[in-house]
Amino acid sequence: MSMVGHTIARWVTSRSFTHCGCGIEHLQDGSKFERISDFFVSDSQLCNKIVKPRKQTKTTAHYQTQPDHSKMRLVIKNTKQAQAFVRCFATKKNNAPAAVNALQAKGEAIDNKYSKVDTPLKRILLGKHTPEDLKSINFQDPKVLASWLDKAAQEGPRFLAQSDLLPKLSPVTVTVTGAAGQIAYSLLFRIASGEMLGLDQPVNLRLLERPEAMQSLEGVVMELKDGAFPLLNSIVATSDEAEAFKKTDYALLVGAKPRSKGMERADVLKDNAAIFKAQGKALNDNANTDVLALVVGNPANTNAMIASANAPDLNPLQITAMTRLDHDRALAQLSQKLKVPVSSIERVGIWGNHSATQFPDLNHALVDGKWIRGDLDNNWVNNEFIPTVQQRGAAIINARGKSSAASAADAAIKHMRDWVHGNDQWVSMGIVSQGQYGVPLGVWSSFPVICTGAGEYGVVDGLPITEDAAEKIDLSINELLSEKEVVEHLLPNPTFRGVEIEKSKIFNWEFAKTK
């Protein structure tokens, strides 16, 4: 038990970083390394520009779901307490020899149980590694070290959660609206399997539907039960909003009224304003104060604004709109064009509205660490890439007769997982504007962000914006402002004051090529 405790302690110490403001992560033992994703690499004057997420003011208390290394610290604390208990009684053998023997036997049992494991990573985590296990890990190479630590962070807690070394987590409550719909049908089973919140996190599902769709929802509930998911603790299916949001920790607002043939966009906005006004109030009155809510139902950006306006007790940063599907579509198109894996692409972002006016931005994209915008044909970017991403939803409807469902559910899973557990890569989220890049206050716009985990994120700051990009972003922001005007009379709170903020550096790509 002692060896296990000290091994986990060493692993946690190596996983714990501190920030000094220079963009370089420092290990607690004083050494440091630089990850390739910490630097803006290009062939222009932008080379070696450090891009860091803007620090956000913490909202409420830290969210219940903590980063994995917090769990490790809890293990260390409990292990040290147990060791101290053994030492205490070992010095007073006459006091409680039975208790001492029981604890020692438990420690020996744990050591014996995990003395034979099947991978080097597990052996290292348990302190059972051999010299051969360490030969392939060059800890002097910062890339290797960063990769190994990331792998340990992902696989270590999963392995330890199945052991006797980690305490079992209490269930968290997840609310999904529109639960009998297409997107939810692709979403719910993945939440129940642990794909969204973690393979060690039990969940209680609370499912909301319209009264006329409750029979269909009962069929979904039957299938969830038939799946026998170990992490699925309970299911509540209801048409009552207060019941659906009762003590929820995570809310996915999927249900919305779609635009049907002959409907004006203003009518769709007004109909959804009524839906999200009621859901925002229910979220405010019944959910936990640190709830994280994702709006999926379209028009997602404006629906998120409406829900937040009707949830005055919640910080607007706790309610986001989904533009991750647009982000993933942009990655897929660039991957196909360059014939490279999606995993090799970084620093793609979506700006503005989740609509045909959105701006998928490749100006800062990296492929295998190299800036590639200067090598891309402007004709392809402006006349193929951008329109394809903007119109992808309509193209899917034309092809299959229905809107995106599985890919939307996948994007929602990724959005929430990164929001809760963190991701050091750029992703796109529709969030309340605080004036970044001149976007007026109080509208929900998509930005490139970095999620730091535990419900916190920051907009990637200080990016140079080209004149063409600024025009495209402004077009989408103006659409958001026009949507806000349509529903503004339905909002209970005073509207935010728009501000004029000077644009970030205006950058000309032709100038960059000459440098």
Q: Is 166 strand, coil or helix? A: coil
Which is nearest to 341 in space by CA: 353, 331, 351, 349? 331
Report the alpha-carbon distance of residue 221 to residue 484 in Å, rounded.
37
Q: Is the peptide bond before 299 cis (omega within 30 degrees of 0)?
A: yes
Report the alpha-carbon distance of residue 362 to residue 381 in Å, rounded.
8
First to last CA, the chain: 60
Q: For the CA atoms of 146, 149, 154, 158, what is the dihedral angle to 10 degrees? A: 170
Which is nearest to 408 in space by CA: 296, 300, 275? 296
Region of residue 176 (left: phi > 0; alpha: psi -120 to 50; beta: else)? beta
The token pair that represents 43 in the structure block: 């062939």
The token pair that represents 474 in the structure block: 């402004």
Sign, CA torsion 88/90/94/95: positive
Longest CA–CA span in the chain (Å) reads 87
- Confirm if 323 and 428 have CB atoms less than 8 A apart: yes
Report the alpha-carbon distance of residue 484 to residue 388 in Å, rounded.
26
- Confirm if 480 and 498 have CB atoms less than 8 A apart: no
- Confirm if 469 and 453 have CB atoms less than 8 A apart: no
* φ/ψ (deg, to 5) at 125: -60, -35
Q: Which DSSP symbol is given to 473?
A: H
Q: Which of 69, 327, 354, 421 is catalytic?
A: 354
349-382 burial, b if ≥16 CB within 10 A, otherwise e? bbbbbbbebbbbbbbbbbbeeebbbeebeeeebe
**364 classed as catalytic:** no
The token pair that represents 152 in the structure block: 């340990």
263-283 burial, b if ≥16 CB within 10 A, otherwise e? eeeeebbeebbebbbebbbbb
Query: Nearest 5 degrees, angle CA 241-CA 244-CA 246?
Result: 105
Q: How far is CA 62 from CA 55, 65, 72, 381, 449, in A?
A: 15, 8, 17, 41, 20
Residue 31: CB partners within 8 Å, gap ≥ 6?
A: none
* DSSP per-residue letters across 146-159: HHHHHHHHHHHHHH
Enzyme catalytic residues: 354
